């Protein structure tokens, strides 16, 4: 707890804060999850719904969470209790989210590490072959070993602490990731036959709009922007009062959405090119990035090198996110149980290592275990993103709108004379649109999933 206190307010200035928060936000959610969901849920319509939600719901929720963190100076689990004893359970609920996400996130992080290894060892050609990815994830040991490597890398940085580990590296790596993504996206989009894929991705087909699409986009939004799990509250507690909150939020969400959009542009047109325009290839799910990109790199001059650079940057983006996930679990243990940082990190690492095993084996020896018809990793993903996060977000909106009142947040956004240009919009979003919208989307989609209504 003491160590935690001394490391607060350690982000130096706005750029440091924005890049560190973007480092948490930009990760596998953008590069791995967004493209496969967009491909699965109808392309352009998913993109459109996502962007609308990002700049309305996303803005509102991120502003709220960061403001709560900065105002209370506490991490999520304590912040809610500090506002009002009756709200303490929201802290508890939101802290379940990283506990569910971190293990399976690290399993995917392991896949990325493996692909980096593939490109470093000049085996990019093999990775581009059909069936390579499926053969890899269905083995029992290999994916587990890469998963372990990824978890240990995460833990080492968490032990080193906030400032040294995250901030410095983000300043260099995030802009490079952006540049390389642009290069690869341009290459993918200029392949012969890519135009149909580009149209699929950017042109909304309203006949594919369903409430499930909206819920998937909402879940993706929470996930991608690291909302509803206390992370942004914790980051806000490290933010200086003099840093402009509104424009920081705008920049984080712009950067996050841009990277997701580019990831879609890298991957979706390429799926069209390499499947010969077969739309059913769009439903590949979690494997999409790993199946498609090696084919892109194989066809590219210098693809082995570019593939290596790309997976290196994805690995970095995944690490900055997994670090912030692990950091949240560690800070919960420190706050609640009074353990020191080292011991809390060791215990979290052991937990993540054990809890990730089923998600990893679920693609191979445990593929017969299919809760609610999903494989194990998808099931955890569903639990956190579709079930828990909307509930947590609704509760946050509700207490801010009707118990604490929006001025509580607005005053914080205006600290030290900062402007809050979208104050009216914020007020309307937090009181009306966000809480009603979240409940409406969530309830109707659940009802549709259970077959109670057809949408
Ligand atoms: N936002 C990260 C991503 O898009 O990959 C994932 C993530 C990181 C989720 C940190 C949650 C979190 F707390």
Tens of pLDDT along 233-282?
A: 988 988 889 899 999 999 999 999 999 999 999 999 998 888 876 777 88
Q: Ligand 1 centre from 29 Cα, in Å?
A: 6
Cα separation, 412 vs 393, whole angstroms: 19
What is the DSSP-derived secondary structure letter of residue 419?
A: -
Which atom in ligand 1 lies closest to the alpha carbon of residue 328? 13
- Grade residue 394 by pLDDT with cuts at 50, 70 and 90: very high
Pocket of ligand 1 (CB under 6 A): 24-25, 27-30, 98, 101, 223-224, 226, 229, 231, 321, 324-325
pLDDT at 2: 38
Cα separation, 199 vs 135, whole angstroms: 32
* Pocket test residue of 258, 314, 321 for ligand 1, highest count of atoms within 8 A of CB: 321
Per residue in 281-309, pLDDT (tens digit) is 888 888 899 999 999 899 888 889 889 98
Q: Ligand 1 centre from 30 Cα, in Å?
A: 9
Cα separation, 151 vs 131, whole angstroms: 26
* Pocket test residue of 111, 224, 317 for ligand 1, highest count of atoms within 8 A of CB: 224
pLDDT at 396: 95
Each residue of 172-181: b (16+ CB within 10 Å) or e?
ebbeebeebb
Each residue of 207-236: b (16+ CB within 10 Å) or e?
eebbbbbbbbbbbbbbbbbbbbbbbbbbbb
On whether the CB atoms of residues 108 and 318 are closer than 8 A, the answer is yes
What CATH number does domain 14-449 carry, 1.10.520.10, 1.10.4160.10, 3.40.50.300, 1.10.10.2120?
A: 1.10.4160.10
Mean of pLDDT over the chain: 89
Mean pLDDT, to the nearest integer, of 70-89? 88
Cα separation, 41 vs 447, whole angstroms: 19
pLDDT at 14: 81
**CA-nearest residue, atom 7 of ligand 1:** 226
Which atom in ligand 1 lies closest to the alpha carbon of residue 229? 13
Choice among 139-143, 258-262, 330-334 with the minimum mean pLDDT: 330-334
Tokens coding 64: 């709220």
Own/partner contacts of 85-94, CB < 8 Å, gap of 24 or more, are 87/399, 90/392, 90/395, 90/396, 90/399, 91/230, 93/388, 93/391, 93/392, 93/395, 94/228, 94/229, 94/230, 94/392
What is the DSSP-derived secondary structure letter of residue 170?
A: H
**CA-nearest residue, atom 9 of ligand 1:** 226
Per residue in 177-221, pLDDT (tens digit) is 899 999 999 999 999 889 999 999 999 999 999 888 998 999 899
Of residues 38 and 449, more confidence is placed in: 38
pLDDT at 393: 94
**CA-nearest residue, atom 12 of ligand 1:** 226
* Pocket test residue of 35, 103, 223 for ligand 1, highest count of atoms within 8 A of CB: 223
What residue spans of 362-388 are helical by DSSP H? Answer: 376-382
């Amino acid at each position: 707890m003491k160590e935690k206190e001394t490391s607060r307010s350690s982000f130096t200035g706005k750029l440091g804060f924005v890049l560190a928060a973007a480092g948490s936000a930009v990760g596998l959610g953008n590069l791995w999850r967004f493209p496969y969901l967009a491909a699965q849920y109808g392309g352009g319509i998913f993109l459109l719904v996502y962007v609308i939600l990002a700049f309305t719901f996303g803005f509102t929720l991120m502003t709220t969470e960061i403001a709560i963190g900065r105002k209370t100076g506490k991490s999520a689990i304590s912040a809610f209790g500090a506002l009002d004893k009756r709200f303490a359970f929201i802290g508890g609920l939101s802290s379940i989210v990283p506990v569910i996400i971190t293990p399976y996130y690290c399993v995917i992080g392991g896949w990325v590490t493996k692909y980096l290894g593939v490109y470093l060892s000049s085996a990019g050609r093999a990775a581009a072959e059909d069936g390579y990815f499926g053969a890899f994830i269905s083995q029992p040991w290999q994916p587990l070993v890469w998963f372990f490597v990824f978890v240990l890398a995460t833990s080492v940085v968490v032990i080193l602490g906030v400032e040294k580990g995250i901030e410095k590296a983000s300043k260099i790596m995030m802009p490079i990731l952006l540049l390389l993504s642009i290069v690869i996206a341009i290459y993918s989009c200029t392949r012969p036959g890519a135009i149909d894929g580009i149209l699929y991705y950017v042109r909304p087909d309203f006949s594919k709009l369903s409430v499930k699409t909206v819920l998937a986009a909402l879940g993706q939004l929470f996930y991608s922007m690291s909302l509803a799990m206390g992370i942004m509250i914790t980051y806000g507690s490290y933010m200086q009062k003099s840093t402009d909150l509104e424009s920081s939020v705008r920049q984080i969400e712009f950067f996050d959405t841009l990277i997701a959009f580019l990831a879609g542009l890298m991957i979706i047109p390429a799926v069209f090119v390499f499947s010969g325009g077969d739309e059913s290839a769009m439903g590949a799910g979690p494997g999409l990035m790993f199946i498609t990109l090696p084919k892109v790199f194989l066809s590219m001059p210098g693809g082995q090198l570019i593939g290596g650079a790309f997976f290196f940057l994805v690995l970095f983006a995944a690490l900055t996110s997994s670090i912030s996930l692990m950091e949240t679990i560690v800070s919960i243990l420190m706050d609640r149980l009074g353990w020191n940082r080292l011991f809390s990190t060791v215990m979290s690492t052991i937990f993540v290592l054990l809890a990730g095993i089923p998600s990893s084996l679920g693609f191979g020896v445990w593929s017969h275990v299919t809760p609610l018809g999903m494989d194990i990793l998808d099931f955890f993903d569903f639990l956190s993103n579709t079930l828990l996060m909307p509930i947590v977000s609704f509760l946050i909106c509700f207490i801010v709108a009707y118990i604490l009142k929006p001025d509580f947040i607005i005053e914080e956004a205006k600290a030290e004379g900062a402007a809050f240009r979208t104050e009216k919009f914020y007020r309307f979003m937090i009181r009306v649109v966000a809480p009603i919208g979240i409940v409406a989307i969530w309830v109707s989609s659940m009802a549709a999933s259970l077959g109670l209504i057809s949408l």
